[in-house]
Amino acid sequence: MANLNIDSAKERTFDAIVIGSGISGGWAAKELTDKGLKVLMLERGRDVKHIKDYPTTNMYPWEFKHRGELPMDVQEANPIVNRCYAFGESAAHFFVKDKEHPYIQTKPFDWIRGYQVGGKSLLWARQTQRWSEFDFEGPARDGFAVDWPIRYKDIAPWYSHVEKFAGISGNKDGIAELPDGEFLPAFPLNAVEEYFSKHVKVNYQNRHVISARCAHLSKPNQIHLDQGRAQCQERTICERGCPFGGYFSSNASTIPWALKSGNLTIRPFSVVESIIYDENKGKASGVRIVDTNTKKAEEFYSRIIFVNAAALNTNLILLNSKSNRFPNGLGNDSGVLGKFVAFHNYSAHIGAEVEGFEEWATDGRNPAGGGYIPRFRNVYKQETDFLRGYASGFSAYRGFKHSYDGFGEDFKAGLSTKEYGPWRVGSHMMGETIPKETNFVKLDNSNKDAWGVPLLDISVDYDDNDEKMKKDYIEQLTEMFTSAGFKNIQPSTNHQAPGLDIHEMGGVRMGRDPKTSMLNKWNQLHACTNVFVTDGASMTSTSCQNPSLTYMALTARAVDHAVSESKKGNL
Ligand SMILES: Cc1cc2nc3c(=O)[nH]c(=O)nc-3n(C[C@H](O)[C@H](O)[C@H](O)COP(=O)(O)OP(=O)(O)OC[C@H]3O[C@@H](n4cnc5c(N)ncnc54)[C@H](O)[C@@H]3O)c2cc1C
């Protein structure tokens, strides 16, 4: 961190300010500094330096006091974050604990957060698919939300731009609904995954089981080595932080790159309270922060502001940025700020056993997690009684046949057997949800956090469309598993609250019409054009593909526009 000995407005002025240091903020900082701008990155959490601040990254299982589990008192004190599969002893220090940062759940919502330099980029599962034309044309075609102001062709070159730098492994599968990218070699499917892939190819039209695409350096290029990163070692303990930089995180990639330029100043422990609007100039002039150590309010100024605090916190900051011109939140002439929040529906799974394949076993690890089944419902035409569709994860594995019988030596022998059990397969649903005005966030004006910022009140729920989609997923996957000869098929659905998919989006949506949307096609606030929102808040609809690659591409695209407009004197 640069030494901020600042006492004059001039010293508190930068060319650009980036709010948040996670996946999208890291990209904003990298692109802006690459173009020569002096950038201040404001981050509410502590600093996390690559490698140095990954305390568990090289620990063996037996070195953890609780062998990787969290003690009951920690679990009970954190009912929300404890529902996240990655919240364990090895990575708990990167998650927000429930009591530290409260919010109001008018409807149950599991808000999973990582407040530190790097944000959730340290924790994510690194699944990275492009969205397709079917996603960007979706709302207009199917009559929901508002039309995206961009199409696939507008973002395609920017996907290429970020993929080359981040490093995405995958195959060129030639599927229109899941466009190919600039890939490093894919992690291969195992024998049973390969079998299912071939079975589906032969027996189904427009259904595919492919190697999952993920942000791992399966075979680094020079640009990755230049970042100080190395080949993924397939350790699959990524949520601890990777000392090899084997997967993409802001900490391993974009932030050190931007720092190397000499143009980036990072200020951790800085909660952005609001964006300052200059009524005379008709644009934003800077941001107000609260220093979390001193509790002192401070201001920083810039010509360009990128808001990348992650979807719901970005909503909060804009809602809290009130002025005479914008009494209901910055840029909120339309009244849609905070509304049309959507997410992904991960509430259905299916498992089964597989006979045969006894000459094969799973040895080693696959950081991509196995296979991916792109959306096949309602792609080329509407064919069901629900809108849109779902992608599915698919993986197969074979573990040892453990026995828990006996005592003493017998018990130990049963546990340590090297005899394999049967193959098992599993899949989970990743459904698109429809953004609706009734799914919204707002400020709770009677409760404030430790820094005087109003708490966020979340009112987001599933609907009938989600229930129908879930039923269809179970029916279709059961049918596909049956046809493949899988046995003992066990579908399951749960009633997890929205949020646990950790893909919340919307509230500051892009659109063509300022009367019904917040952002234009360049992610600029229609009504305050030097403020850019390029995280999940800006999403008009959610696709069913993972979203973070799209945030990266939109961010790089928006920076390019911001800098070129700035050079023309338009910002
Ligand atoms: C376990 C897990 C698995 C996931 N798997 C995937 C996956 O496979 N694929 C995928 O695409 N996505 C995945 N995600 C989601 C992915 O992590 C997010 O989409 C992504 O990190 C969002 O990037 P962001 O920049 O918007 O937010 P973040 O990465 O969350 O960064 C936001 C930053 O802003 C800071 N901030 C917030 N408020 C303020 C404020 N007021 N002032 C200053 N700073 C602030 C935060 O502290 C944080 O550092 C996963 C997430 C988790 C936790």
Could you report the per-residue pLDDT of 483-500, keeping only the tens digit for each?
Answer: 999 999 999 999 999 999
Straight-line distance from the first to the last Cα atom of the chain, in angstroms, rounded to the nearest whole number: 28
Could you report the per-residue pLDDT of 55-106, keeping only the tens digit for each?
Answer: 999 999 999 999 999 999 999 999 999 999 999 999 999 999 999 999 999 9
With a 6 Å cutoff on the Cβ, whether 25 touches ligand 1 is: yes
**According to the model, what pLDDT value does residue 382 have?**
97
Distance 293 CA to ligand 1 centre (A): 23
Torsion of Cα atoms, 420 then 421 then 422 then 423, to 10°: -60
Do the beta carbons of residue 81 and residue 95 sit within 8 Å? yes
Distance 38 CA to ligand 1 centre (A): 24
**According to the model, what pLDDT value does residue 413 have?**
85
- CA distances from residue 566 to 110, 265, 570 in whole angstroms, order as listed: 39, 20, 5
Does residue 5 register a pLDDT over 70? Answer: no
Ligand 1 atom showing the smallest separation from residue 84 Cα = 1
Q: Whose CA is nearest to atom 23 of ligand 1?
A: 23
**According to the model, what pLDDT value does residue 401 have?**
85
User: Taking all residues of the chain, what is their mean pLDDT, rounded to a whole number?
Assistant: 96
With a 6 Å cutoff on the Cβ, whether 129 touches ligand 1 is: no
With a 6 Å cutoff on the Cβ, whether 555 touches ligand 1 is: no
Q: Judge if pTM exceeds 0.85.
A: yes
Q: Whose CA is nearest to atom 48 of ligand 1?
A: 119
With a 6 Å cutoff on the Cβ, whether 274 touches ligand 1 is: no
DSSP 3-state assignment of 434? Answer: coil
**According to the model, what pLDDT value does residue 417 have?**
79
Does residue 301 register a pLDDT over 80? Answer: yes
Q: Whose CA is nearest to atom 11 of ligand 1?
A: 548
185 token code pair: 């070699």
13/452 Cα distance (integer angstroms): 24
> Best of 81, 502, 535, 544 to mutate for ligand 1, by most ligand atoms within 8 A of CB?
502
With a 6 Å cutoff on the Cβ, whether 551 touches ligand 1 is: yes
39 or 405, higher pLDDT: 39
125 token code pair: 């599962």
With a 6 Å cutoff on the Cβ, whether 317 touches ligand 1 is: yes
pLDDT band at 411 (very low <50, low <70, confident <90, very high): confident
Q: What percent of the chain has pLDDT over 90?
A: 93
Mean pLDDT score, 115-139:
98
Mean pLDDT score, 167-193:
98
Could you report the per-residue pLDDT of 188-206, keeping only the tens digit for each?
Answer: 999 999 999 999 999 999 9
Ligand 1 atom showing the smallest separation from residue 126 Cα = 8
507/329 Cα distance (integer angstroms): 12
Sequence-distant (6+) residues with CB within 8 A of 224 are 167, 217, 230, 245
Q: Whose CA is nearest to atom 26 of ligand 1?
A: 310
With a 6 Å cutoff on the Cβ, whether 501 touches ligand 1 is: no
Distance 193 CA to ligand 1 centre (A): 30
With a 6 Å cutoff on the Cβ, whether 123 touches ligand 1 is: yes
With a 6 Å cutoff on the Cβ, whether 119 touches ligand 1 is: yes
With a 6 Å cutoff on the Cβ, whether 24 touches ligand 1 is: yes
With a 6 Å cutoff on the Cβ, whether 121 touches ligand 1 is: yes
With a 6 Å cutoff on the Cβ, whether 127 touches ligand 1 is: yes
Could you report the per-residue pLDDT of 524-542, keeping only the tens digit for each?
Answer: 999 999 999 999 999 999 9
> Best of 314, 318, 448, 548 to mutate for ligand 1, by most ligand atoms within 8 A of CB?
548
With a 6 Å cutoff on the Cβ, whether 453 touches ligand 1 is: no
Q: Whose CA is nearest to atom 46 of ligand 1?
A: 115
Q: Which of 132, 141, 3 is nearest to 434 (CA)?
A: 141
With a 6 Å cutoff on the Cβ, whether 41 touches ligand 1 is: no
**According to the model, what pLDDT value does residue 224 have?**
98
Could you report the per-residue pLDDT of 136-161, keeping only the tens digit for each?
Answer: 999 999 999 999 999 999 999 999 99
Q: What is the DSSP string of 440-464?
A: EEEEEEEEE-TTSPEEEEEE----H
pLDDT band at 6 (very low <50, low <70, confident <90, very high): low
Mean pLDDT score, 375-399:
97
290/273 Cα distance (integer angstroms): 7
| Cβ atoms within 10 Å of 128's Cβ, excluding its own | 29
Ligand 1 atom showing the smallest separation from residue 271 Cα = 42
**According to the model, what pLDDT value does residue 414 have?**
84
With a 6 Å cutoff on the Cβ, whether 124 touches ligand 1 is: yes
Q: Which of 542, 494, 467, 482 is nearest to 348 (CA)?
A: 494
> Best of 19, 21, 113, 124 to mutate for ligand 1, by most ligand atoms within 8 A of CB?
124
Distance 433 CA to ligand 1 centre (A): 19
21/485 Cα distance (integer angstroms): 47
Do the beta carbons of residue 187 and residue 211 sit within 8 Å? yes
pLDDT band at 1 (very low <50, low <70, confident <90, very high): very low
Distance 113 CA to ligand 1 centre (A): 7
361 token code pair: 């076993």
HEC-encoded secondary structure of 105-123 = ECCCCCCCCCCECCHHHHC
223 token code pair: 């640009």
- CA distances from residue 141 to 37, 137, 138, 472 in whole angstroms, order as listed: 40, 6, 5, 21
Q: Whose CA is nearest to atom 50 of ligand 1?
A: 124
168/217 Cα distance (integer angstroms): 7
Q: Whose CA is nearest to atom 12 of ligand 1?
A: 548
Mean pLDDT score, 452-466:
98
Q: Which of 335, 360, 366, 47 is nearest to 187 (CA)?
A: 366
